[in-house]
Structure 1
Amino acid sequence: MEYPRRRHARHGSIRNGVLVAGLVLLCATTLFATGTQQMAAPAAPVTFTLSMNTDPDSLDPHRSSASITEQIMLNVFDGLVNPTPDGGVEPAIAESYTISPDGLTYTFRLRENVYFHNGDRVTTDDLMFTFERLRRLSSEFADVVALEAPDDRTFVIRLGRPNSSFEKFLYRAVIPAGYDDHANRPIGAGPYRFVEYTPQNRIVLERHEQYYRPIGDVDRIVVRIIGDADARLLALRSGELDFTGVSWQRANEFAGNFTIVSSQANSVFIFGMNNDHPVLSDVRVRQAINYAIDRDEIIDFVFDGFAVELASSMSPAMAEFFDASLIGRYDTNLARARELLTAAGHPNGFPITLRISGHSEIYSDAAQVIQQQLARVGITVTIEVIEWSMWLSEIFTDRIFETTLIDFTGKLDPYPVLRRYISGFNRNFLNFNSPEYDGLMESALRAPSAAQRVELYKQAQRILTDRVPAAFLADYQFVWAMNPRFDGYTPYPFFFHDVSRIVTTR
């Protein structure tokens, strides 16, 4: 396959009149009532229509692992705290909270009038139920040793040891005590209530009239599930959609009638390798693959320059935690790649299978580029495209693969970004194993100062760059077409479409 070379913007600059702004922008459509000469008719409900390119993995907020689910369902749920656009958290169901000087006791003062979508008021019983469930289902809450409710507006979480990331975990959904059918009919206390989900068709949410805070103008959210990129763009042009992603190459095509917004995704796009594979378990082979890959070509062809090169598993969006000194470590060097393959016993290369999900064109585009690049050093790549649900079950869960492509989406804290490579972590599907790395991550989680955490996380990134469980490729930019009738969307440093802030402009 031949493909054109394009110059790319290594640092995410403004290109071709496309506005570079916040992380993720949505758009929506509203139905306007027309008035008579005598009096105006009541305003019609405002409907906000957007797209997803595949079905959610689970509507249960404590069982879902896919960011594509969280981007929508965070509108349904509130936590004790909620994420903020600057990457922090702020009181939500809790109106205030304190953390003890030793970092072991979190005390929350609850708001008086917070209601679930079923009409029940949120109580400390619900918090006890929620966090007991989270202790069973999520390792993020493994340090919790006690939950207490000394009165009906006070809730206390006690940890067995300090956890520097724990505050950022507290945005997890609060759910009603005793209710466990969230996979079919989720109930939360967020700004929008769940109405319906039809697989391969749509998700519908409606405004929660008892929500404790003022929200924007959107009364109804319709999420259309459309797998084909061209079909999404046709739906956008026809007015069936008011927001969808557009390819970097086609952004200008929509600029006349839509607001085009782009920004860094705070993600890590990787060529992942199964570190337990007989050939790929050799670090020399993984390093050879890294030297054979040309990241500039991938950024140019797949992302049309809307990406930043990476050399480890962290985005520059993570600010002081990001180690920029690693960039360039694996600049393309075919001679070095062949030398490493020969040393590993593969002077003529070897065959591998690249299994990718078909739910996004970036995977198929990148697969074709990498297939051609690795052929230059004798590695023959066979591409297998599978459904997203199969990718989740066979690759992410059962680890049946040799290589794959995936973009790890952003998080609020560096620990969950880098936890993916801890040897005992159940989502370490690359099977990376480094006792030194595990020890650094544990030390960072317990570190008492921000400066110590920064240095420990940078050391962890250096191990990933040295041992290369994957080829870390790029942090790309999102590009969306947004209906200009709406405004007020606020970006977050992770994949979240916060509809509650959106207002109509006319």
Structure 2
Amino acid sequence: MIARFALAATAAFAMTVSAHAERTDLTIGVVLEPPHLDPTAGAAAAIDEVVYANVFEGLTRIGRDGAVQPGLAENWIISDDGLTYTFELREGVTFHDGTALDAGDVVFSLDRARGEDSVNAQKGLFDAIESVAQMDELTVEVTLSRPAGDFLYNMGWGDAVIVAPESAETNKENPVGTGPFTFVEWQKGAAVTLQRNDAYWGDAPALTEVTFRFIPDPAAATAALLAGDVQAYPNLPAPESIPVFEADPRFTVAIGSTEGETILSTNNAKPPFDDVRVRQAIAHAIDRQAIIDGAMFGLGTPIGSHFAPHHPAYVELSETYPYDPDRARELLAEAGHGDGITGTLKLPPPSYARRGGEIIAAQLREVGIDLEIEPVEWAQWLEQVFTNKDYDLTIVSHTEPNDIGIYARDDYYFQYENPDFNAVIEELSVTAGEDARYELFRQAQQILAEDAVNGFLFQLAKNGIWDAKLEGMWENSPVQANDVTGVRWTE
């Protein structure tokens, strides 16, 4: 009897261990629900956070270390003059609807992204392309009008993924890519579910099902992790809860870096913010460390321009306009606003914006800038601020990699114009040498800082919290993505 009980107990234990070891599902918490699921037709980082590398792939991809890796193109040849890129596509790749990937899909995708009627939010990535030609079924030749040192990197952005003409128009609601996961369901307001693509051309992921749950509320996010309702939160919106997880051996806490320049975005074309003295006054009125401490519980690195501190070309410019309320008042008076100014501050849902906005509004009020806070949902922000430029000030984290060139774009939502800055970016676009590129990056940072284009606040930290039995989660965010292709459960 005892022997039978022991044998049964041993078998039950073995089954329990085996069942745990074989777990292949994962629920991930994310802050924002994407407006749709087509990364080639929207600016929201929330899109890439679900589908980049998981559902959609590009000719190249950006790895967890920020380096360019082969993607759908397994090889490429660059001409001596840097103007012709010949991409050799992988054999046997199919889209999730069963259609085969060929060179025609690449021609379609790149021409669609750079066309006159393109709705691609990063159309500037394709500016250097003069033509795209299919050489044979699996070979594509891209000709540039000028050398572009970052072309392969640009082709690794989510905005440059390859789509099929058969499904391109319906990708917003039913994304069809070539990636290791296929789209299953989108429960609006709740979650997106993906499942493993058994026909994937590459190594099969360990996970068979991944669900991205939308939990913007910091308290709810913390509770969901502690209860096990979600097993990972790549960027927890509740930095105040980190000590709780650090003290709990069930969790891994990984504080990493991001490409997220968090800024007080300013409408440079709208009076009185079109006056550099007003923008300088705002810069002097901002106490960055107080914002980091009060809104982010000390997690974040002060910045003085639009550039990531971990980049080797970074210049420390946060003291260009040091915290000095008296000087801020003087500048406002010089600009003819000695009696103060009023404006609006539109705040999207992330906690860095909502919490940081309250602190910034209080700081600016002390120098005579009275802001009316307007909370907006993400879809409203994209329409009102990003698209229609209907705003005075807003707070947002720009998480696109190495994106200082956005300040040279015509009609971008900052509405900033400076021919000297544009000339630097133009030279950067045709410069391949690393040392020369880094010097141009430094010049660009300096111009933006001196012009006080935006209120440069801090580099967003990545507050990664996940089950200690998970491995393969990214500690840093070189791109705005939650790549789960290498994630697995361990003992």
- Taking structure 2 as the reference length, the TM-score comes to 0.90
Q: SS of the counterpart of 2:28? A: strand
> Letter of the aligned partner of 1:193 in structure 2?
T
Rounded to whole Å, the distance in 2 between the matches of 1:86 and 1:480 is 16
Q: SS of the counterpart of 2:259? A: coil
Rounded to whole Å, the distance in 1 between the matches of 2:13 and 2:76 is 48
> Letter of the aligned partner of 2:109 in structure 1?
T
Q: How many percent identity over aligned positions?
A: 30
| 1:420 aligned residue | 406
Do structure 1's residue 393 and structure 2's residue 378 form an aligned pair? no
Q: SS of the counterpart of 2:111? A: helix
- Give the counterpart of 1:99 among 60, 78, 84: 78
Q: 1:200 to 1:482 in 2, by over 3 A?
A: same
Q: Deviations over 1:28-72 (max 9, x none)?
A: xxxxx97888x9789866111012222212211210211121121
Rounded to whole Å, the distance in 2 between the matches of 1:482 and 1:43 is 17
| 2:3 aligned residue | none
Rounded to whole Å, the distance in 2 between the matches of 1:113 and 1:100 is 27
Contact kept, 8 Å, 1:57 with 1:65, in 2: the verdict is no
Once the two structures are overlaid, the 10-residue window that deviates more, 246-255 or 496-505, is 246-255
| 1:403 aligned residue | 393
Post-superposition shift, 1:361?
1.7
Rounded to whole Å, the distance in 1 between the matches of 2:31 and 2:472 is 24
Q: Deviations over 1:318-357 (max 9, x none)?
A: 22x2112x23112111221111111101112212211111
Contact kept, 8 Å, 1:432 with 1:469, in 2: the verdict is yes
Rounded to whole Å, the distance in 1 between the matches of 2:399 and 2:448 is 17
Please show how residues 265-414 of structure 1 align to structure 2 within 5 Å.
265-319=258-312, 321-324=313-316, 326-357=317-348, 359-411=349-401, 414=402
Q: SS of the counterpart of 1:221? A: strand
Rounded to whole Å, the distance in 1 between the matches of 2:32 and 2:481 is 16
Contact kept, 8 Å, 1:283 with 1:468, in 2: the verdict is yes
Please show how residues 145-224 of structure 1 align to structure 2 within 5 Å.
145-171=130-156, 172-180=160-168, 181-224=170-213
Contact kept, 8 Å, 2:237 with 2:351, in 1: the verdict is no
Rounded to whole Å, the distance in 1 between the matches of 2:343 and 2:39 is 36
- Give the counterpart of 1:487 among 466, 471, 483: 471
Contact kept, 8 Å, 1:423 with 1:434, in 2: the verdict is no
| 1:133 aligned residue | 112
Q: 1:446 to 1:36 in 2, by over 3 A?
A: closer
Rounded to whole Å, the distance in 2 between the matches of 1:305 and 1:221 is 32
Rounded to whole Å, the distance in 2 between the matches of 1:215 and 1:286 is 51
Contact kept, 8 Å, 1:226 with 1:232, in 2: the verdict is yes
| 1:18 aligned residue | none
Contact kept, 8 Å, 1:129 with 1:178, in 2: the verdict is no
Please show how residues 47-66 of structure 1 align to structure 2 within 5 Å.
47-66=25-44
- Give the counterpart of 1:236 among 198, 202, 225: 225
| 1:81 aligned residue | 60
Rounded to whole Å, the distance in 2 between the matches of 1:393 and 1:328 is 34
Q: SS of the counterpart of 1:263? A: strand
Once the two structures are overlaid, the 10-residue window that deviates more, 197-206 or 248-257, is 248-257
Post-superposition shift, 1:310?
0.5
Rounded to whole Å, the distance in 1 between the matches of 2:440 and 2:384 is 33
| 1:68 aligned residue | 46
Q: SS of the counterpart of 1:432? A: coil
Q: Deviations over 1:154-206 (max 9, x none)?
A: 21111122122211121221112332211121111111111111211110111
Post-superposition shift, 1:312?
0.5
| 1:436 aligned residue | 420
Post-superposition shift, 1:293?
0.9
Question: Which structure is higher in RCO with an 8 Å CA cutoff and minimum separation 6?
Answer: 1
Q: 1:152 to 1:249 in 2, by over 3 A?
A: same
Rounded to whole Å, the distance in 2 between the matches of 1:127 and 1:476 is 34
Contact kept, 8 Å, 2:66 with 2:478, in 1: the verdict is yes
Rounded to whole Å, the distance in 2 between the matches of 1:271 and 1:34 is 57
Q: Deviations over 1:103-132 (max 9, x none)?
A: 111111221121211222211122222222
Rounded to whole Å, the distance in 2 between the matches of 1:259 and 1:130 is 39
Q: SS of the counterpart of 1:338? A: helix
- Taking structure 1 as the reference length, the TM-score comes to 0.87
| 2:445 aligned residue | 461
Contact kept, 8 Å, 2:261 with 2:399, in 1: the verdict is yes
Q: 1:40 to 1:370 in 2, by over 3 A?
A: closer
Q: 1:439 to 1:355 in 2, by over 3 A?
A: same
| 1:12 aligned residue | none
Q: Deviations over 1:369-417 (max 9, x none)?
A: 1121112212112211111110110011101111111111141xx3xx1
Contact kept, 8 Å, 2:222 with 2:241, in 1: the verdict is no
Q: How many residues align?
A: 464
| 1:121 aligned residue | 100
Q: SS of the counterpart of 1:318? A: coil
Q: 1:380 to 1:36 in 2, by over 3 A?
A: closer
Rounded to whole Å, the distance in 1 between the matches of 2:107 and 2:237 is 43
| 1:446 aligned residue | 430
Post-superposition shift, 1:474?
0.5
| 1:9 aligned residue | none
Rounded to whole Å, the distance in 1 between the matches of 2:302 and 2:155 is 32
Rounded to whole Å, the distance in 2 between the matches of 1:86 and 1:237 is 29
Rounded to whole Å, the distance in 2 between the matches of 1:40 and 1:458 is 54
Rounded to whole Å, the distance in 2 between the matches of 1:489 and 1:466 is 38
Rounded to whole Å, the distance in 1 between the matches of 2:369 and 2:288 is 17
RMSD after superposition: 2.1
Q: 1:340 to 1:36 in 2, by over 3 A?
A: closer
| 1:90 aligned residue | 69
Contact kept, 8 Å, 2:62 with 2:479, in 1: the verdict is no
Once the two structures are overlaid, the 10-residue window that deviates more, 339-348 or 173-182, is 173-182
